[in-house]
Amino acid sequence: MAISLRYGSYFYGDCQVGTERKERGVGSVEVLGGKNEFKGRQIVVKNQSSSDGWNPKDHSHCSIHASICLPRAMKWWEKSIVPNMTEITSSDHLVESLATAGDKLVIVDFYAPGCGGCKALHPKICQLAESNPDAIFLKVNYEEHKSMCHGLRIHVLPFFRLYRGAHGRVCSFSCTNATVKKLKDAMAKHGTERCSLGPAKGLEKEELLVLASNRGARFNRPPALSSI
C-alpha cells in the first residue's frame, strides 16, 4: 500500500514553514502531533500496519520536524503608525530628532501603556499624523523613559509638546480624546509655512543639562493618568 507523508508550505506573517513530500510503499502510517507538538517539536511517525514489516522508526528520513512562527500581538500604541511617527528610544534619540527636524513642526507625544486616555486618543493622533505628512510626531513611552520624562517635567499624561525650528518649544499642554481640538488648533497655528532663521533649537539648555545628569537614574513617582 502506498502512503504519502506531506506537510505543506505555510506562511504565517513573515514566517514560512518548508514544504516536503515523501512516499513509500508500506502500510498505513499515522502522524502523531496535537496542538502542543506543533511548536518546533518533532512530529513522530507511528507505524500502524505494514505488509512488509517496514518500521518507520528505523528510517531517520521519516522523522518530520515542523516549526511555526507566531507573530507577536501588536500593542495598542504600535497600531496604525504612519511613516512620520517615530518611537523615541532614548534621550539622545529625542535630542537628535529635534535637532535634525529643520523647520518642520514637531509634536512630542508623551504616553504610557497603562494610560486609558492615551489609548483612547491614539487613533486620532495617527489620523492627525496621516493628514499632516510634513509634521513629525515623536512618541515617548513614559514607562520606558521615566528618567527622561521626569527631567522634562512631564507629570501628567497624555501630554504634548510642540517644537518649531529656531523657535524651539512653541507650546505644551495636556490633551485628551475629549479635548483633542486643542492639539488640532495648536498644529494649525504653529504649522503654517514660515522661515526660521537659524538651526532647530530643540530642547532648552536647562533641559539638556538635566537629561545629561539624570542618565541611568530611576524615578518612581508616577504621572497623573487620564482615563477620558
Cβ contacts of 53-61, under 8 Å, gap ≥ 24: 54/24, 54/26, 54/27, 56/26, 56/29, 61/22
115 is catalytic: yes
SS3 23: strand
Alpha helices in 115-225 (DSSP H): 116-131, 146-151, 181-190, 205-213
Question: Radius of gyration (Cα) for the chain, nearest Å?
Answer: 28
Contact partners, residue 106, CB within 8 Å, separation at least 6 = 97, 98, 135, 136, 137, 138, 162, 163, 164
Are the beta carbons of 52 and 24 closer than 8 angstroms? no
In angstroms, the first-to-last Cα distance of the chain is: 68
* 62, 118, 149, 175: the active-site residue: 118
* Sole residue written with cell 495598542: 76
Stated as kind and residue range, the H or E segment containing 39 is none
The sheet carrying 64-65 orders its strands as 29-32, 42-47, 64-65
Q: Looking at 15, 62, 69, 115, which residue is catalytic?
A: 115
Is 62 in the active site? no
Residues with a known catalytic role: 115, 118
